[in-house]
């Protein structure tokens, strides 16, 4: 299938504008065909009109129909086959193997949210029955469920062209909740976005859901995305990207006449704490695991460990020696696009320029800068320098990390205390280490969304108990996660019904519990019908 | 007990400043003793230092100890006896009977959140067990619970000097979640605030919780509250009040270097829809109920019905005649303070000035304006005027309402469509009316947090299924409620633990489910231990 380069506006292809742009193939160091037509304001307007219209019908669809729609999207993405993988690889320089895995993750996410919608208990139905003779006032019958918030805007992320992009976790969870989605395609992978967008369009046609539930807006300029955030129909925004980008969207959304939430996952330094017992027992194994985590996907993961606080002890020097050797041997990697390349080059340059920090290892291979290739890098500093220099605590997106030599357990806590909010923190320790550093664990609980023990933070399991979120600046709202089934709660809000006749209630709140949902009835969880 | 007029700063009384202010007794039209000392920045600083320190210990307290603390606050408020009720009545002009009921609501809320904390399943514990041999990658063990977000700021509301003030729903839910609270006393009832603050202080001393979990900041100027919102330690804000006030706090919080959430409940017009069947059957009864709801607490409820869309039919004129008579007979009421008085006078003046709207009834009794007394008022308009004039759709806080004469069912939907977000919408109808107006119900679901059938929106039941919230401008965040047990979720965020040893996990995530919490284990709700 040839790429058409058009926007998808409420089920229709549309390319009214004259401004076009091409994707950049980082592995070739060249722009590639075809041209993509940037959406005009009138096309954006039509997308939102279609979304608003679709919302009325879509939010009242049977859960089974929503689930079937999501499953059909998954099937259509699988059917897009090698063409999708090849185009994604061309636009991102990510290897086809990695993208094959990411595609499985993407379709699994869609199926997981389909199952969540079909089972249905996620709506957190609650029923408090009337007590007409309660004194001093009668108690009314009150029942509540969650309803979708309305049309939402999702920004495709550059580093997961499938799993966090057009039909990624944000879109899957929003559609599962009953919200139409207007996607802003990431400008770095417009062709991949189109192929996935077309898969969604085929699923819409096959499922009979209103075409307005999905639009795909192409564009190379920031203003396009800002326009989506400011549009009056938009009820919320999902975003994965940089702190600067997330902050700009958050500010625009907060300054609307009617502010709306922006759920921005803005990355993180993901500190790792190496406790003395663990370092003494398995310094080399930790170095190997850490190097793998730092360089996975060329370090372009939100959960890449960027700071490693290592306790003094006999394991520290062997650990550093091993990690240095591994980093030196690491081949150069091609980054996703020129923006990330430039900011990585600046980031490692800034680290090297800090007095008291030094670069202890770098890939020995030469990097082809014309193809946005970079060398992996390892830095080292001492605690005093780390605490004094804020730039050492900032994210460098790409394959680099910084080891902070710490003395006592108290030093590790000082590192933790100096950090802002993060997606994750990781601790390597023996059971005895954990007991000796209970204060560190307690401190990290107040700073992050996920604590990893004797593992590495990259690789985010998609499951009900996952939290991919955390205090600012990891995200704009630590109450929510963008990975796992709980991600659906970003797109829903509670509505209560007081003294409604049974037949006028939403199905999940009626006396007869037809779908055997878990419901909180008079304070007790039950799957029973009401008497 | 004589009022001391001081701030409570982490358990200590403090009055370092020289600026004082007195409460105004609206029923007397005079300021009353004693002077209250406005907090200085250094006292605010100390309050937050104490809160931050207290947080470390308080968040790790056993749930039973938290529950006992909340119950003790309730007991101490009851023990404050008549003195509290008298002072609250003096400062608000609300009758002692009403305040007695509100005190019961306040202590019941504290006990409800104590029970919630003690039972413990609110933390939404989730466990996904490892599958080490899963292909292509092993599945890790991931478990998540909710943790308190940190110290929060609560603004006392003027219209509920007990139930939404110093130890009201916001404070009770935050303390139950494990968050220290810094309360900004409402400047209209500083003495009531002090008496309740002292009750909390006694409860702290008796319960052995860290004194920093509670501070009470007095002040007459807006800057004091703004300073609390901007303080780096503050993690979230609870507020009930005006749209202008809530928006100002929201803007300040959003512009912080690290934005924090403001949960502001900013009131609402609470539209009522009178369907033709119901009006035909019981026009007079509806008029009586509506008049009671409009004038309850002198119309100073966030849920006061401010717009009544009434369907044409034989019931409409009798309804209006009855409502007019009741409003004319309504005694004048003393409003809470001069600010509300002035804005009510302006609000009803503005309504009367709209061409196409007319005042059809007003209390015949004369109002003593020096005592902030006002007359109840009833306005009427037609659909075209209502749709044309935005000011007819704005909240007038106080005992007035506006009837919109509608023609067809489609006209009622036009009214609904023209409205912004609200806390509530009310429908009076027969079962047949509901069937004939299913579109109206579906539309209102997208606009409000609570739908009331054949009742009135004032009187908000405190229970698990209550939603006291709704889309902007009813609140700043429609995902949450400020009444009922779900209010606790404003103050908590998820944290996941990956591959943690059982003994290092929080108690609620360990294999042995000692407290028999409901937990989502591998996707299934259960109270069982893990094998």
Residues of chain A neighbouring B56 (CB-CB closer than 8 A) = 442
Whether the pLDDT of residue A531 is over 90: the answer is: no
Residues of chain B neighbouring A258 (CB-CB closer than 8 A) = 420-421, 471-473
Residues of chain B neighbouring A507 (CB-CB closer than 8 A) = none
Nearest CA in chain B to A483: B496
Whether A142 sits inside 8 A of B469 (CB atoms) is no
A463 is known as an active-site residue: no
Whether A486 sits inside 8 A of B477 (CB atoms) is no
In angstroms, the Cα distances linking B65 to B118, B203, B206, B209 are 8, 12, 11, 8
Whether B493 sits inside 8 A of A478 (CB atoms) is yes
| pLDDT value of residue A1 | 66
Whether B479 sits inside 8 A of A464 (CB atoms) is no
Summarize the confidence of residues A91-96 as an average pLDDT.
97
Question: B102: distance to nearest CA of chain A, Å?
Answer: 12
Summarize the confidence of residues A429-438 as an average pLDDT.
92
Whether A121 sits inside 8 A of B454 (CB atoms) is no
Whether B452 sits inside 8 A of A498 (CB atoms) is yes
Q: Closest partner residue to B464 among A463, A504, A523, by Cβ?
A: A523
ipTM of the predicted structure?
0.97
Helix (H, G, I), strand (E, B) or coil at A56: helix
Whether A464 sits inside 8 A of B128 (CB atoms) is yes
Whether the pLDDT of residue A62 is over 70: the answer is: yes
Q: Closest partner residue to A478 among B149, B441, B449, by Cβ?
A: B149
Residues of chain A neighbouring B100 (CB-CB closer than 8 A) = none
Give B128-166 as a DSSP string: E--BTT-SSSPBPPEEEEEEE---EEEEPPSS-TTTTST
| pLDDT value of residue A267 | 81
Which phi-psi region, left, alpha or beta, contains residue A124 (left: φ > 0; alpha: ψ -120 to 50)? Answer: left
Question: B323: distance to nearest CA of chain A, Å?
Answer: 24
pLDDT tens sequence across A106-153: 999 999 999 999 999 999 999 999 999 999 899 999 999 999 999 999
Whether A525 sits inside 8 A of B518 (CB atoms) is yes
pLDDT tens sequence across A456-515: 999 999 999 999 999 999 999 999 999 999 999 999 999 999 999 999 999 999 999 999
Give B316-378 as a DSSP string: HHHHHHHHHHHHHHPPPEE-SSHHHHHHHHHHHHHHHHSTTEEEEEE-SSPP-GGGTEE--EE
| pLDDT value of residue A409 | 81
Q: Closest partner residue to A139 among B56, B143, B461, by Cβ?
A: B461
Residues of chain B neighbouring A255 (CB-CB closer than 8 A) = 254
Helix (H, G, I), strand (E, B) or coil at B99: helix
Whether A464 sits inside 8 A of B139 (CB atoms) is no
Whether the pLDDT of residue B409 is over 90: the answer is: no
Q: Which of B179, B302, B332, B406 is catalytic?
A: B302
- Taking one residue from A and the other from B, the number of pairs with CB-CB distance under 8 angstroms is 199
Residues of chain A neighbouring B503 (CB-CB closer than 8 A) = 431
Whether A499 sits inside 8 A of B454 (CB atoms) is yes
| pLDDT value of residue B128 | 98
Nearest CA in chain A to B430: A501
* Residues A110, A115, A118: CA angle, nearest 5 degrees: 125
Residue A116 tokens read as 């969540």
Question: A34: distance to nearest CA of chain B, Å?
Answer: 35
C-beta of residue B286 within 8 angstroms of C-beta of residue B250 = no
Whether B453 sits inside 8 A of A500 (CB atoms) is yes
Q: Which residues pair with B484 in a beta bridge?
A: none
In angstroms, the Cα distances linking A221 to A37, A39, A138, A264, A336 are 12, 10, 59, 19, 18
Whether A496 sits inside 8 A of B467 (CB atoms) is yes
Nearest CA in chain B to A456: B498
C-beta of residue B122 within 8 angstroms of C-beta of residue B488 = yes
Question: Going by DSSP bridges, is the β-strand pair A262-265/B307-311 parallel, antiparallel, or unpaired?
Answer: unpaired
Whether the pLDDT of residue B1 is over 80: the answer is: no
| pLDDT value of residue A136 | 87
Residues of chain A neighbouring B467 (CB-CB closer than 8 A) = 144, 494-496
Q: Closest partner residue to A466 among B251, B477, B496, by Cβ?
A: B496
Q: Closest partner residue to B472 among A259, A442, A472, by Cβ?
A: A259
What are the backbone dihedrals phi and psi of residue B184, each rounded to the nearest 5 degrees, phi first? -90, 110
C-beta of residue A180 within 8 angstroms of C-beta of residue A152 = yes
Query: CA A187, A192, A197, A202: dihedral to nearest 10 degrees?
Result: 170
Summarize the confidence of residues B349-357 as an average pLDDT.
96
Q: Which of A302, A380, A413, A508 is catalytic?
A: A302
- Give the distance from CA B32 to its chain's centroid: 27
Strand ranges (E), A54-198:
126-128, 142-148, 152-155, 181-184
Whether A465 sits inside 8 A of B504 (CB atoms) is no
Whether A469 sits inside 8 A of B101 (CB atoms) is no
**Gyration radius of chain B's alpha carbons:** 25
Summarize the confidence of residues B308-329 as an average pLDDT.
97
Residue B322 tokens read as 């009855």
| pLDDT value of residue A342 | 96
pLDDT tens sequence across B466-523: 999 999 999 999 999 999 999 999 999 999 999 999 999 999 999 999 999 999 999 9
Give B212-242 as a DSSP string: GGEEEE--SSHHHHHHHHH-TT--EEEEES-
Whether A463 sits inside 8 A of B128 (CB atoms) is yes
C-beta of residue B189 within 8 angstroms of C-beta of residue B161 = yes
Summarize the confidence of residues A343-353 as an average pLDDT.
96
Whether A466 sits inside 8 A of B504 (CB atoms) is no
Confidence of residue B310 (pLDDT cuts 50, 70, 90): very high
Confidence of residue B328 (pLDDT cuts 50, 70, 90): very high
Q: Which residues pair with B520 in a beta bridge?
A: B126, B525
Residues of chain A neighbouring B497 (CB-CB closer than 8 A) = 450-451, 453
Nearest CA in chain A to B518: A525
Q: Closest partner residue to B498 among A451, A495, A497, by Cβ?
A: A451
Q: Closest partner residue to B137 among A255, A459, A481, by Cβ?
A: A459
Question: A382: distance to nearest CA of chain B, Å?
Answer: 27
Question: B238: distance to nearest CA of chain A, Å?
Answer: 15
Q: Closest partner residue to B486 among A56, A60, A494, by Cβ?
A: A494
Compute the mean pLDDT over every residue in chain B, rounded to the nearest whole number. Answer: 97
Nearest CA in chain A to B497: A451
In angstroms, the Cα distances linking B436 to A314, B270, B315, B411 are 79, 22, 17, 13
Beta-carbon count within 10 A of B135 CB: 6
Whether B493 sits inside 8 A of A459 (CB atoms) is no
Whether the pLDDT of residue A72 is over 70: the answer is: yes
Nearest CA in chain B to A474: B258
A265 is known as an active-site residue: yes
Question: For residues B153 and B491, what is the distance between their CA atoms, to the nearest angstrom?
Answer: 11
Whether the pLDDT of residue A275 is over 70: the answer is: yes
| pLDDT value of residue B45 | 98
| pLDDT value of residue B267 | 81
Summarize the confidence of residues B78-86 as an average pLDDT.
98
Nearest CA in chain A to B98: A136
Residues of chain A neighbouring B137 (CB-CB closer than 8 A) = 459
Whether the pLDDT of residue A315 is over 90: the answer is: yes
Residue A245: burial class (beta carbons within 10 Å; 0-12, 13-18, 19+): middle
To test the contact with chain A by mutation, choose from B479, B483, B490, B523 the residue with the greatest count of A C-beta atoms within 10 A, namely B479
Residue B71 tokens read as 């119950």
What are the backbone dihedrals phi and psi of residue B496, each rounded to the nearest 5 degrees, phi first? -105, 150
Nearest CA in chain B to A485: B523
Summarize the confidence of residues A339-349 as an average pLDDT.
96
C-beta of residue A259 within 8 angstroms of C-beta of residue A235 = no
Residues of chain A neighbouring B55 (CB-CB closer than 8 A) = 446
Residues of chain B neighbouring A459 (CB-CB closer than 8 A) = 137
Confidence of residue B189 (pLDDT cuts 50, 70, 90): very high
Q: Closest partner residue to A464 among B454, B455, B523, by Cβ?
A: B523
């Amino acid at each position: 299938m040839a790429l058409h380069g058009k926007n998808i506006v409420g089920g229709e292809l549309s390319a009214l504008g004259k401004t076009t742009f091409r994707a950049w193939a980082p592995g070739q160091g060249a722009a590639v065909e075809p041209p993509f037509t940037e959406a005009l304001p009138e096309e954006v307007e039509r997308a939102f009109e279609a979304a608003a219209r679709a919302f009325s019908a879509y939010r009242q669809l049977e859960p089974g129909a929503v689930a079937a729609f999501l499953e059909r999207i998954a099937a259509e993405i699988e059917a897009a086959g090698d063409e999708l993988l090849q185009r994604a690889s061309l636009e991102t320089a990510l290897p086809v193997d990695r993208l094959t895995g990411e595609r499985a993750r993407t379709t699994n996410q869609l199926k997981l949210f389909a199952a969540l919608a079909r089972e249905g208990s996620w709506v957190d139905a609650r029923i408090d029955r009337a007590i007409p003779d309660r004194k001093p006032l009668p108690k009314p019958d009150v029942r509540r469920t969650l309803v979708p918030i309305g049309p939402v805007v999702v920004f495709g992320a550059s580093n997961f062209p499938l799993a966090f992009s057009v039909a990624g976790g944000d879109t899957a969870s929003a559609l599962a909740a009953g919200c139409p989605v207007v996607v802003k395609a990431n400008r770095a992978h417009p062709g991949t976005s189109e192929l996935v967008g077309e898969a969604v369009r085929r699923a819409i046609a096959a499922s009979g859901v209103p075409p307005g539930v999905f639009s795909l807006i192409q564009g190379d300029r920031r203003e396009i995305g800002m326009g989506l955030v400011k549009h009056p129909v938009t009820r919320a925004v999902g975003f994965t990207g940089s702190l600067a980008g997330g902050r700009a969207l958050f500010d625009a959304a907060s300054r609307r006449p009617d502010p709306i939430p922006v759920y921005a996952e803005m990355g993180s330094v993901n500190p790792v704490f190496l406790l003395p017992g663990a370092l003494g027992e398995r310094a080399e194994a930790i170095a190997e695991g850490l190097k793998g985590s730092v360089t996975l996907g060329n370090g372009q993961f939100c959960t890449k460990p960027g700071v490693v606080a290592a306790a003094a002890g006999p394991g520290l020097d062997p650990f550093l020696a091993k990690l240095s050797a591994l980093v030196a041997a690491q081949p150069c990697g091609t980054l996703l696009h020129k923006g990330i390349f430039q900011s990585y080059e600046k980031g490692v340059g800034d680290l090297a320029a800090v007095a008291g920090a030094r670069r202890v290892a770098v890939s020995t291979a030469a990097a082809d800068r014309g193809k946005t290739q970079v060398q992996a890098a390892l830095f080292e500093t001492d605690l005093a320098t780390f605490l004094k220099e804020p730039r050492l605590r900032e994210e460098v997106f790409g394959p680099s990390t910084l080891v902070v030599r710490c003395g006592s357990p108290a030093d590790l806590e000082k590192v933790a205390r100096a950090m802002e909010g993060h997606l994750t923190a990781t601790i390597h320790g023996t059971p005895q280490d954990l007991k000796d550093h209970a204060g560190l664990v307690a401190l990290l609980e107040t700073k992050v969304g996920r604590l990893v023990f004797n593992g590495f933070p990259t690789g985010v399991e998609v499951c009900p108990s996952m939290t991919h979120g955390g205090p600012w600046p990891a995200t704009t709202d630590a109450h929510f996660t963008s990975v796992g089934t709980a991600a659906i709660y970003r797109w829903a809000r509670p509505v209560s019904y007081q003294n409604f006749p049974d037949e006028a209630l939403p199905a999940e709140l009626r006396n007869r519990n037809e779908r055997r949902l878990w419901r909180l009835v008079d304070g007790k969880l039950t799957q029973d019908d009401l008497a």
